[in-house]
Structure 1
Amino acid sequence: MIILAATPIGNLGDASRRLVEALEEATVVAAEDTRTTQRLLSALGIDNRPRLIALHDHNEKERAPEIVELARDQDVLVLSDAGMPTVSDPGYGLVATAAAAGVTVTAIPGPSAVVTALAVSGLPTDRFTFEGFVPRKPGERTAALRALAAEPRTMVFFEAPSRVAATLLDMAAVFGADRRAAVCRELTKLHEEVARGALGELAAWAEQGVRGELVIVVAGSPERDIPFDDAVRQVLALVADGIRLKDAAAEVSGVTGHSRRELYQAALAARA
């Protein structure tokens, strides 16, 4: 079978007994970075040296069939650099290939940056959505955030330290500077930090520079009771300011929760 194994996201003490036992017994390990896996084996005091197969974003499509065939006759342990494989990490393609081939897939659960950040954020946890990394290019990032502006569930994002200030600034512009959020840094590590506040405040805080592994947690959109006709007038006002109708409809949709398509069509009709 294929065994997806969660590894520590920072603190080695979070390695489960099942993970250690699996690493001690493994004969084949498919790893996102074989060097990281070698360091993990050494840090955990494990003498076993299994066959290591690199499985990353650039070769997963080609390697998946080979690994699935190996798993017909022996267990194959699958590791990402940190956390659970397949969650914003390699492994999804492998699991899909295994499922299609009738090969059993199971998991050794464990640390998760997504759930850990959500738990300590101080934001609602009953319903949430994981959005992974936002696009790097400013225009694409703004468009992606606009599509989420009316999302009522708590949202969890990954981001790189070099882009976190720009991303928080865009989030404040699209979601509103007063929207509650938390930036979780170096979770489970020595210098763990959770900065909580409004997006506008966090954007200003991040301008000073932020280091380490980051997770951003943003509160969902509050329910709004804005009449449709008022929303259409907001679209028209944005168009009058020089914003394209399509973009204006998307922006107002994110703020009001009204359908972007319906706002677009209504505003188009009003201009005719």
Structure 2
Amino acid sequence: MKDGVAVPEAVLCIPGPWVERADLTRQLVKANTGYIFAGMLLMDMKTSTSCELQMEARDERMLFAFKVAGPHWGQTDEMTRIENHNSVIYLIGHGGSETNFAPLMHAARALLDAGGFGVKVESTGLAHSPETWRRFCGDLHLFSVHEACVLYLTGTDVYSCGMHNLGLKDVVTAADGTEDPVELLRAFTLYAFAEKADIRTGQTFSVASDAPVYRILEDEGVLYDASSLFKNPYGFWRLEPEGSEPATSTPARRSWWKFRKH
């Protein structure tokens, strides 16, 4: 529990060439990853941290799923390799903080070193190439975990998704309320995470001293199914342009997915 809220589950998906468990075990050792696969757990031998590992058979939908979740690298050779996967690994752990999520990231990197083809953050709906994921793991001190697990979706309103992986509220704003709503939300969510900001209803936010000012309000946000890995138990903020009438929006549902930006 965190602040009376159950810590949400975080799940990473890594397709790879492994035909069976023994193949994965051998490749983890051969690549000198520092991880061992025992029972249902993948363990970091140096830190003794572990996460649940589920190995599933080849999934014919996997390439399509990665292309939808990773359009920024959809035309690359790395994406094409996913078509040749023999199995799919799911790493299961806790979100709710960088302390929880970062070990999952390192575990996924070990699977990439053992031959994995990419990483999809199931608890966000965002996929990354092996090269990009390795960069994230090396740049955690630069707040790269935020880039790894938060995305932005546009429609009538613009939403962030994935802040629950870090234990924080997501945020929403009207698409026509600013010239670049995605960059506004990116700046706000990064500020909330990197600065560990004590954000409260009624406060204001601006990306610069001479930029437009927005008032921060509580919002119902997106109404995901109760079992959805996207559901944020910490809630949502709404950014309203200062001086405007408060929005009386109807909470969006899954059909709100129109366009996604990372």
- Larger radius of gyration between Structure 1 and Structure 2: 1
Q: Same fold by TM (over 0.5)? A: no
The answer to which structure has the higher strand fraction is: 2
TM-score, normalised on structure 2? 0.33
TM-score, normalised on structure 1? 0.32
